[in-house]
């Protein structure tokens, strides 16, 4: 039984694609077929695939349904995390989504998904991304302080949701965790954050995130081993649309 992850598919079978880059960047050419082919090649029925947010451009469940059906058709067990563009998914209706797609898709929010000895936990997350003000040498000399203050409120909300996910797994007897975020765990100015601190508090084995896609964004946050935790970016275009193997 293996665990894989990929994010930012931005499917639009039933809606309009709203990202110019997705229509013009060669990295996105034929990406849906590449995802399908790669998943069919590497995934077995007993494997688990985590989709790390931004699944659909659909503005509601009716528009997103064809995209969710595509994901459900992929091999293995599918676990979905909420991304910033997933308008079809309201946090308060997660239980309804899990009931609707029971046995086909699992929606990860304020809950956990068992994967062998590990509990898969997660939330959308958040980090302050912009605007930053640069000097003549391109170094950050300041940032939008009101925007940063608002971002911190969103960070606090997402931290609370992530802790609920972790605590639900702990209450079920798990003590090994793989933590999923849609947003990166840190922004350009940070080496640590409240999310990395929480991961360390619970002894997470890995932290996996997406959102940073487009070549200029691939190195916005932590990658590799940091303070005894492995951090991985799994945005689809970063991976060349090949899901990343996380376990075993």
119: tokens are 């509990």
- Which CATH number does 3-247 carry? 3.60.21.10
pLDDT band at 131 (very low <50, low <70, confident <90, very high): low
Residues 21/22/24/25 CA torsion (nearest 10 deg): 80
**C-alpha dist (Å) from residue 242 to 18, 49, 50, 146:** 23, 11, 13, 39
- Domain segments of the chain: what residues? 3-247
For residue 194, the model assigns a pLDDT of: 94
What is the pLDDT confidence band of residue 138, given thresholds at 50, 70 and 90? Answer: low
- To the nearest whole percent, how much of the chain has pLDDT over 70? 96
- Mean pLDDT is lowest, of 10-24, 97-111, 171-185, 229-243, for 10-24
- What pLDDT does 176 receive? 97
Cis before 131? omega within 30: yes
pLDDT surpasses 80 at 129: no
pTM score, two decimals?
0.91
| pLDDT tens-digit series, residues 28-72 | 999 999 999 999 999 999 999 999 999 999 999 999 999 999 999
Which residues neighbour 227 within 8 Å (Cβ) at sequence distance 6 or greater? 192, 196, 200
Q: Is the pLDDT of residue 95 over 70?
A: yes
């Amino acid at each position: 039984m293996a665990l894989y992850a990929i994010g930012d598919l931005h499917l639009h079978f039933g809606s309009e694609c709203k990202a110019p880059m997705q229509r013009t960047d060669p990295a996105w050419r034929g990406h849906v077929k590449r995802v399908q082919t790669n998943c069919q090649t590497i995934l077995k029925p007993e494997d688990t695939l985590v989709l790390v947010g931004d699944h659909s451009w659909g503005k509601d469940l009716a528009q997103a349904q064809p995209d969710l059906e595509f994901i459900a058709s992929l091999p293995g067990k599918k676990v979905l995390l909420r991304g910033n563009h997933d308008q079809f998914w309201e946090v308060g209706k997660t239980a309804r989504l899990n009931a609707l797609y029971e046995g086909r898709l699992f929606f990860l929010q304020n809950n956990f998904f068992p994967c062998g000895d590990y509990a898969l936990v997660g939330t959308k997350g958040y980090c302050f991304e912009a605007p930053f003000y640069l000097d003549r040498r391109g170094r950050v000399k300041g940032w939008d302080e009101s925007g940063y203050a608002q971002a911190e409120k969103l960070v606090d909300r997402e931290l609370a949701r992530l802790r609920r996910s972790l605590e639900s797994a702990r209450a079920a007897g798990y003590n090994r965790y793989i933590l999923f975020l849609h947003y990166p765990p840190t922004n350009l100015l940070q080496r640590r954050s409240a999310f990395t601190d929480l991961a360390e508090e619970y002894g997470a084995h890995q932290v996996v995130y997406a959102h940073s896609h487009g070549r200029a964004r691939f190195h916005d946050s932590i990658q590799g081993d940091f303070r005894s935790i492995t951090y991985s970016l799994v945005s689809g275009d970063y991976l060349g649309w090949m899901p990343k193997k996380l376990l075993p």
